[in-house]
Structure 1
C-alpha cells in the first residue's frame, strides 16, 4: 500500500509539472477578424489545426436541424481545386486526416498532419471550407449514411435515452434542435442549400482557428492570410445562455419492450468554465462512486449506475441507471442525492477525488488534438483559452462547503426519462 501511494505521489508530481507547461508557448493573434490560438509544441512532429464554427444548435432552427453537420460531411467529398479522387489520394499519400465534428455549442473541421506535409494539407483543408462542390451524388450518398445514423440512435437504447433526455430537459431552448438532424430535414436538403448555408457561415467572426504543434507564428499568419484574408468578417455575436431552470420534477415514460428499464434524470448544472462548474464536476463524480457502492456493490440492483455533469455552455448534470426494479433502485439513488445535498463530504474524500480528476484531465489532454479542443472549448465558452491551464488550481480550490452548497442549489427538480416497460411504477418515487 505504501509503495502504491508513493507511486501515486510521484505520478501527481509529474502531472503537476505537466500542468505548469500546459499553456506554455500559447499565444493568440487575429488575421482579418479571425482569431487564431497557436500553441507551439516541439516535442512531436504532428500538427493539429482545427477551424471551429461558433453557435452550434443556436444558429439552427427546426427546419435547418442538422444542416451544418451535413454540409461539413459532404464538403469533405470534393472541392473546386481538389476533386474527390485527387483529394483522397493526396491525403492518403501525406498520411493526413481531415474530419468534422459537431455538438450543441459549435462545429469543427479538424486537420491532423505531419509537419513536413502541413502546408500542402492546409491547402486542401482550407479549400474544403472555401470551395466545396456538393455534387448531387455525394450529397445523396451522405444523406443515406446520415439517415442510417439517425435511425440507429432510435434503435439503440442508450443513445435514444440521451436524445429523449435532451429533448425533455432543454424544452424551448436552442439545444432542443438536433445538430445531427432528423430524417425529415436530412431528406429535404439539396446540394444548393448546403452550398448556400456554408457560404453564409464562412465569415471570420463566426470562426476560430486553433493550432497545436511545431509551427511558427510567421508561417501560420501567412497561411491564414492567404486562405482567409479576403473573407467577409461578418457580425457574429457571442451567444449567452441563462441557466435552465425547471420549476418542478417530472418523468416521461417511453414504452419499449426491453430486458430492463433505462432511466436518466437530468438537473441544471453550472456552465462550463465557471467557478461552480469545477465544484459540480467533483460533486457528481463523488455521487457516481457512492451510487456504484450502494446500487451495485451492496444491493446488486444494477450493473450500470452513474452520475456526471456535461461540458456544455448551458449545462446539465445527470444520474443514470438500468434497472429491472426501477422503484427500488431509484429510492436508493434518491437517498444518495439527498445525502450529498445535506451532508458535507469528508476532506479526505474530496482530496482523493481532486487528485483523480486532475490525473484524468492531463492524461486526457496529452495529444496535440486534445489540447486544441480544450483550448477552443474554454475560448468559445467565454472563459478564455488561458483558463485551461488553471484547471488544476481551480479543482484544488474547491471546498467541502462549496460541494454542499452547489449540490443543494442544483440537484433538484430532476427531469426523468424512462425507456422500457416496467411492470409497475410509483411516479412519486421520481419526484425529487
Structure 2
C-alpha cells in the first residue's frame, strides 16, 4: 500500500512526530550525550549530524516516503530466515529431544539441600545456580548495600585459590561465575561448557563457601560502589525508580536500594562483610539447580560429595509485614535530565497467591503488553507521539509487591499523558474487554512464559525461585493451565480490585 501511495498526510505527520520524540527522549543522561557527539563525528565529521538529521525528518513529504518504499521494498531481494529443529534418524531413535527425557527432577541430598536437575543435551553447555532467601529483605537502613557488596566480592579469592587461579579456572575455560542480590534472594551462577562442568563444579562450591575478603579488594570496591551511587542521578529511570521504591515501600526493606547509600557503604568493615557472608548459605532456605548437558549419575555423586556435608540450619522464618496504601498520593521530584517521567504505583500481590498474580499479568498485558510494547497505553500514547516509552510491570514479593506504570515523555506533556493513563485505567475497570483483545492477551502471556523457559539461564532461575517461594520447581510447566482458567471478566474484576489508591510520582527538570 505504501509503494502505491496509499498513505495519508496525517499518517506521515504522526510518523514524523513519533520519530522526533523517540530520538529526543532517548537522550536521558550524560552518557547518551557523549555517545551522540561521538557518533556525529564518526558519521559526518561534525557534532551537528543528529540536529541536521532531525531537521530533515521534519521536512519529509509523502512523495519522498513513497519513493523510498519503491526503492528499498524490493520483494525480489527479500531474505527470509526460518529456524526449526530437524532431528536425524539417530536422534529420533534415541529420543534425546523427547519431553520425558527433559523433565526436571527434584532430589534432596542427605543434609536436606534441595537440588533441581534438568537435562538438556541439545547444546553442550551447563548452568548451575545456588539461590537462597535473603536479598534486601535481610538488610536494614544501617547496613543497606551489604548484599550487593558481598556479591561483588564472591569468587574474587578463596581460602583454596588465589584471584589469578580463579580467573584461570573460570575465564580460562570461557566460563562465567557471578553473584547477584535481589529484593528477596541472593544467588550465585555458573555457566560453562558441558565438558568443563565436572571440573568447575568444585570450584563453584569453593567460590561460594570459602570466599576470602581482602582489604585491598574491599577498598577498591568501596571506591567503585560510591562512584556508582553518585551516578544514580545520571539516568532518569534509575533516579525515578529509586525515589519510587523509597516512597512506595516506606518502613519495609523493599524501599532500600540494591547499591546501598553512601553513609552505609563507606562504613563497611571486613568484619561486617564476613558476618553477613556467613549467614548467606547456611540455612534450609536455599535451592541448587543444574540445567543443561551433564551426566546425571556423575553429577548426583559429585553433589553428595561436595554439598552433602554442608550444615543446613533451620531458622525461624523471617516475618515481615507491609501495610497497603489507603489513599492516593502525588509527589514531584526535580531531575537533571530534560525529560518528563511518570511512575504510578498500586499495591500488588505476594508470590504465594499465584492465581491473582496471573490475573495481574493478564491486566498488565491488556494495559501495556507482557514484556512487549503493545497494549492500550502503548497504542494510545505512542500513536499520539506523546511518549518515548510506556510500560507496566507486575512485581510480586514475599510481602505485597507492586503494579507499576512507567512512562517517559517531555515535561510539557506530563499532564496530557497522565490524563490518557487515567482514562484508559478507568476504561479497563468499567467496560468489558473484547473477545479479540482477550484472546490476543492470552496468546501473548503463553508466548512470554514459553519464551522465558526456552532460555537455559532463565529456566534455571525460574525453577529455583518457584521452589524457594513455595510454588514448586515445575510451576512453569503448569502456568498454561492457570492462564487457560482465566476469564474475560477477570480483567475488570482485577482492575477494580488493584487499580486504586494510586501512588503517583512525576519527575522533570526544574525551570
- Range into which the TM-score falls when normalised by the shorter chain: 0.7 to 0.9
1:200 paired to 2:285: no
Of stretches 375-384 and 46-55 in structure 1, the one that deviates more from structure 2 is 375-384
Secondary structure in 2 matching 1:382: coil
Provide the rounded CA distance (Å) in 2 between the counterparts of 1:300 and 1:241. Answer: 43
Aligned residues: CA RMSD: 2.5
1:301 paired to 2:386: yes
Equivalent of residue 314 in structure 2, options 235, 239, 258: 235
User: Of the two, which has the highest radius of gyration?
Assistant: 2
Provide the rounded CA distance (Å) in 2 between the counterparts of 1:401 and 1:198. Answer: 48
Provide the rounded CA distance (Å) in 1 between the counterparts of 2:320 and 2:447. Answer: 30
Equivalent of residue 413 in structure 1, options 493, 501, 504: 501
Equivalent of residue 271 in structure 1, options 334, 350, 366: 350
1:335 matched residue in structure 2 = 423
Is the CA contact (8 Å cut-off) linking 2:118 and 2:290 kept in structure 1?
yes
Provide the rounded CA distance (Å) in 2 between the counterparts of 1:350 and 1:88. Answer: 51
CA deviation map 1:336-371 (0-9, x unaligned): 011111112112111111112211222232222111
Provide the rounded CA distance (Å) in 2 between the counterparts of 1:240 and 1:40. Answer: 36
1:316 paired to 2:402: yes
Is the CA contact (8 Å cut-off) linking 2:252 and 2:322 kept in structure 1?
no
2:39 matched residue in structure 1 = none
Is the CA contact (8 Å cut-off) linking 2:245 and 2:256 kept in structure 1?
no
2:290 matched residue in structure 1 = 211
2:3 matched residue in structure 1 = none
Please list, as runs of the form range in 1=range in 2, the aligned pairs for 1:252-271 lying within 5 A after superposition: 252-271=331-350
Secondary structure in 2 matching 1:389: helix
Equivalent of residue 116 in structure 1, options 175, 195, 218: 195
1:370 paired to 2:461: no
Is the CA contact (8 Å cut-off) linking 2:286 and 2:468 kept in structure 1?
no
Q: CA deviation at 1:413?
A: 0.7
Q: Which has the higher contact order (CA 8 A, sep 6+)?
A: 1
Provide the rounded CA distance (Å) in 1 between the counterparts of 2:393 and 2:186. Answer: 23
Q: CA deviation at 1:238?
A: 4.6
Of stretches 261-270 and 212-221 in structure 1, the one that deviates more from structure 2 is 212-221
Equivalent of residue 378 in structure 2, options 292, 295, 298: 292
Provide the rounded CA distance (Å) in 1 between the counterparts of 2:319 and 2:466. Answer: 14
Equivalent of residue 268 in structure 2, options 175, 184, 189: 189
Q: CA deviation at 1:19?
A: 12
1:84 matched residue in structure 2 = 163
1:391 matched residue in structure 2 = 479
Equivalent of residue 106 in structure 2, options 4, 10, 27: 27
Q: CA deviation at 1:242?
A: 5.7
Is the CA contact (8 Å cut-off) linking 1:33 and 1:204 kept in structure 2?
no
Is the CA contact (8 Å cut-off) linking 1:255 and 1:419 kept in structure 2?
yes
Provide the rounded CA distance (Å) in 1 between the counterparts of 2:502 and 2:131. Answer: 33
User: Gapped runs of 5+ residues in structure 1?
Assistant: 1-10, 12-17, 424-432
2:185 matched residue in structure 1 = 106
Q: Which runs of 4+ in 1 moved over 6 A?
A: 18-23
Q: CA deviation at 1:229?
A: 3.1
1:355 matched residue in structure 2 = 443
TM-score (norm 2): 0.75
Is the CA contact (8 Å cut-off) linking 1:54 and 1:105 kept in structure 2?
yes
2:228 matched residue in structure 1 = 149
Is the CA contact (8 Å cut-off) linking 1:26 and 1:40 kept in structure 2?
no
TM-score (norm 1): 0.88
Secondary structure in 2 matching 1:166: helix
Provide the rounded CA distance (Å) in 2 between the counterparts of 1:19 and 1:162. Answer: 44
Is the CA contact (8 Å cut-off) linking 1:134 and 1:192 kept in structure 2?
no
Equivalent of residue 68 in structure 1, options 130, 142, 147: 147
2:361 matched residue in structure 1 = 281
